[in-house]
Amino acid sequence: MALRGRRVVLGVAGGIAAYKAVELCRRLVDAGAWVSPVLTEDATRFIGALTFSALASEPARTSLFGGPEPIPHTRLGQSADLVIVAPATAKLLGKYAAGISDDLLSATLLATRAPVLVAPAMHTEMWEHAAVQENLATLRRRGVHVVDPESGRLAGGDVGEGRLADPSRIVAAAEALLSRGRDLAGVRVLVTAGGTREAIDPVRFVGNRSSGKMGYAVAEVASGRGAVVTLVSTQSRPVSESINVVAVESAEDMHREVLARFGDVDVVVMAAAVADFRPKVIAGEKLKKREGVPEVVLEPTPDILGALGESKGAQLLVGFAAETERLREHAADKLARKHLDLIVANDVSAADAGFEVDTNRAVLLDSSGAVEETPLLSKVALAGVILDQVAARLGLPPEGHP
């Protein structure tokens, strides 16, 4: 449904799976999309541009130059609702991650603000190569969507991971992306992210393992769904331009910046791992080893959520509880103590959830008890689950986002 009437640039890079892009092209047209194919020069060695021209909504393009339009990449990039690259080869992913734009497809990828969906396909050795995986991680971080390859038969009789995803999966991912709702349009969301650093002296601090990934995911997903997002963060990770980032370091800084903005927001998601204690005295100069082992006396930091809970009006407060035991019990207690509307509890003792990794598994609780228990999800997907709960509590209708 979501593809009907939407403009899709279908990029085809030069791999053996290029022939499957023909089927994908046909399915996208059948779903009602206006499909503009763009083939790399290498792709034309595997499959003819004429085939795409015959099936797509307009003739296939293969070059930045020589066509009727003087600057085809900007027109294609600006008018697209979605850009799909299938197959995305190691070379194409490398160029895209590095920002190289030496042909029509790579230039179009840089010239678009539309969502981009890449479907990689290559031999297993290439797929597993650190360079390819790092390029993909970079692209993912920038918001590029990936339909992972499948395992199966590859060119040359080999078998393994790296086979282009079935066209039906790529069409489904495209549908899901385009039907993503803007159910949070205009909602003012403040998100905190990262672990705070509490200074011991000018060079040392007391910190924790939080990477900030969960908070960044909430900020990005909320922004994608139309929210006006302020991100108060101790980390400097890449983030969409639409997000207003306020850099902080300590719990004290975060407390100040969050409270100053509290009156102007509708929702606060405290994903930051705020230190509970800080050194009572911060040495003015670097502590010298020769002066012996220093005694660091700790004192409590301000409880930001606690303060928000005390002074809250109509705002919705979402907290996190990172626990290593008795998850629900501790989380329910925190929810009540801090006057929260929702708490996201995760078990940080698991290797695949919580700190530093890209995945998480959580129990969401409100004052009535557990409302949702998630399986292991990417932090981006978990952000979606949390924001669904937020939207429901704000009385906003769901809009069919994935």
Out of 276, 299, 310, 333, point to the residue binding ligand C5P (CB under 6 A): 276
Q: Verify binding: residue 389, ligand C5P, rule CB under 6 A.
A: no
Which CB sits closer to ligand C5P, 73 or 278?
A: 278
Query: According to CB under 6 A, which one of 230, 301, 346, 360 is a site residue for ligand C5P?
Result: 301
Confirm or reject binding of residue 305 to ligand C5P (CB under 6 A).
yes
Q: Is 309 in the site for ligand C5P (CB under 6 A)?
A: no
d(CA 141, CA 109) in angstroms, rounded, equals 15
319 lies in the binding site for ligand C5P (CB under 6 A): yes
Residue 229 β-bridge partners: 189
360 among known catalytic residues: no
Query: Closer to ligand C5P at the Cβ: 139 or 190?
Result: 190
Residue 190 contacts ligand C5P per CB under 6 A: no
The binder of ligand C5P chosen from 177, 214, 304, 332 (CB under 6 A): 304
Options 53-61, 142-150, 289-297, 301-309: segment touching ligand C5P (CB under 6 A)? 301-309
Number of residues that bind ligand C5P (CB under 6 A): 14
Which of 303, 212, 195 has the alpha carbon at shortest distance from 249?
A: 195
Q: Smaller CB distance to ligand C5P: residue 142 or 280?
A: 280
List phi, psi (to 5°) of 11: -90, 135
Please pick, among 208, 244, 346, 360, the residue that the annotation labels catalytic. 208
Using the rule CB under 6 A, which residue among 173, 272, 316, 327 binds ligand C5P? 272
For residue 40, give both structure tokens. Answer: 């790399």
The stretch among 48-56, 170-178, 315-323, 378-386 that binds ligand C5P (CB under 6 A) is: 315-323
Which part of the chain contacts ligand C5P (CB under 6 A), choosing from 29-37, 68-76, 298-306, 375-383? 298-306
By DSSP bridging, strand 359-360 and strand 267-270 are: unpaired
The residues of the shown chain that bind ligand C5P, judged by CB under 6 A, are 251, 270, 272, 274, 276, 301, 303-305, 319-322, 334
Catalytic residues: 208
